[in-house]
Amino acid sequence: MSAAAPARLAVLISGRGSNLQAFIDAIAGGTLNAQISVVISNNPGAAGLCRAATAGIPTRCIDHRDFASREAFDRALAAELANWDVQLVILAGFMRILTPAFVQAFSGRLVNVHPSLLPKYPGLNTHQRALDAGDTEAGVTVHFVTLELDGGPPIIQSRVPILPGDTAHTLADRVIAREHIIYPLAAQWFISGRLQLTDNGARLDGEALPATGFDYLDGGC
């Protein structure tokens, strides 16, 4: 029996592309059966575009400042994605709030990573908010994207302890290391047919995932 053909991914970025690199590394290491068809940024100065080009991945820049409205930008973004016939769209530090028309067009194959244990701390400044609240742990969530900002069904979470003397910066460093593990893992679940978004939430291997997603400790499944 021949191996399945690599799935086609699009990765959307706005900055340095550290999660993009995690996907590149997972593909090179054989743990993610995919190819990155295109990397798209809304920011022409995004360092991740150079990272992608170095890896031989096609890149496109669609500068949101060139559009009169959020809807017009999203239409251009969707049109560009249509050219690549991708199976999964990865938001990797893509700093845009997407409009309903875009989200609905890619429903069920649009995922994001958020640096908190959702539903705690949607939005920005998640690490400082966890510190200010006196939390004992923080973490990261990979989730399907729906119309609710950072509110789509969680797929997988990974927790890290908050240590004495932690700052938002030191905490972020430990959290992003977990992002780089669980985000490609969630993508592999999807492209292998194990993970789906249904009307009743996310399902893995035919079973409903918990409200906070799969709890990743020091191993996957």
**Catalytic residue positions, numbered:** 114
- Give the Cα separation of 193 and 7 in Å (integer): 11
Local structure of residue 221 (DSSP, 8 states):
-
φ/ψ region of 201 (left if φ > 0, alpha if ψ in -120 to 50, else beta) reads left
CA distances 95 to 92, 99, 164, 168, Å, are 9, 13, 31, 19
Helix ranges restricted to H, 14-140: 18-28, 47-54, 70-82, 100-105, 126-132
